[in-house]
Amino acid sequence: MSKGEVVLLDCWMSPFCMRVKIALNEKGVEYEHREEDLFGGKSELLLQSNPIHKKVPVLLHDRKPLSESAIIVGYIDEIWASPPLLPSCAYGRAKARFWADFIDKKLYEAATQIWRTNGEERGAATRDFIETLKQMEEALGDKNYFGGEGDAFGFVDIMAIGVASWFHAYEKFGGFKVADHCPKLSGWLKRCKQRESVSKVLPDPEKVYEFVVMLRKMQGLD
């Protein structure tokens, strides 16, 4: 399984870093993990490796840097072929990439608005987020996982779990329960958490909530 040195520039609460760690775990790839201090000063290695965005995650594969989580997970799937994360047919891959894109552009953006706002603006953001979740719920349908290949755990699941790792914080700020609106999605998240590749990556939801409380204070929102 060894195909060179793998180093991840990481941050524990980043939904995007979680994706990369879950993908590496699914593939059974051993990697060195380096926690970045995003507030205390980013490492020289991070700034050099991702000069455009200066953001985690960065995956260094034999010192060659890769950034942007969806791209990194796709790369991991190409280099370490088993188990496959993306479908084997071109149309399936395109559909998986469509939902990954939806998760980043719609779901994540809608989610972020919940904690970045107050009052009526937060109410609107919460309603918007729930509507977006319902679109995900419909895409999931009666399948166990978004897939990947058929019903198997795969690329779209990994993309979605990163965002789902903050659900508890969104629920507390938005005053709602994902399970009340999207029971199938709630079941999907429980199934995902039973996977070792996922459970050993996801942080304590309460710790994420406390991090968001701190972020809001830093940004003068509370």
In the complex, which residues of this chain contact a second copy (CB under 8 A)?
52, 61, 64, 66-68, 71-72, 74-75, 78-79, 90-91, 93-94, 97-98, 101-102, 135
Residues facing residue 60 across a β-bridge: 7, 65
Q: How far is the CB of 17 from a second copy (least distance, A)?
A: 17
Of 22, 24, 18, nearest in space to 6 by CA: 24
The nearer residue to a second copy, 112 or 135, going by C-beta atoms, is 135
Burial 85-120 (b: 16+ CB within 10 A, else e): bbbeeeebeebbbebbebbbebbbebbebbbbbeee
Q: How far is the CB of 196 from a second copy (least distance, A)?
A: 26
> Hey, what long-range contacts does 39-46 have (CB within 8 A, 24 or more apart)?
43/9, 45/9, 46/9
Q: How far is the CB of 52 from a second copy (least distance, A)?
A: 6
The nearer residue to a second copy, 69 or 209, going by C-beta atoms, is 69
The nearer residue to a second copy, 11 or 76, going by C-beta atoms, is 76
Of 80, 65, 77, nearest in space to 34 by CA: 65
CA–CA distance, 161 with 175 (Å, rounded to integer) = 21
The nearer residue to a second copy, 101 or 121, going by C-beta atoms, is 101
Q: How far is the CB of 82 from a second copy (least distance, A)?
A: 15
The nearer residue to a second copy, 61 or 122, going by C-beta atoms, is 61
Tell me the chain's radius of gyration from C-alpha atoms: 17
Q: How far is the CB of 72 from a second copy (least distance, A)?
A: 7
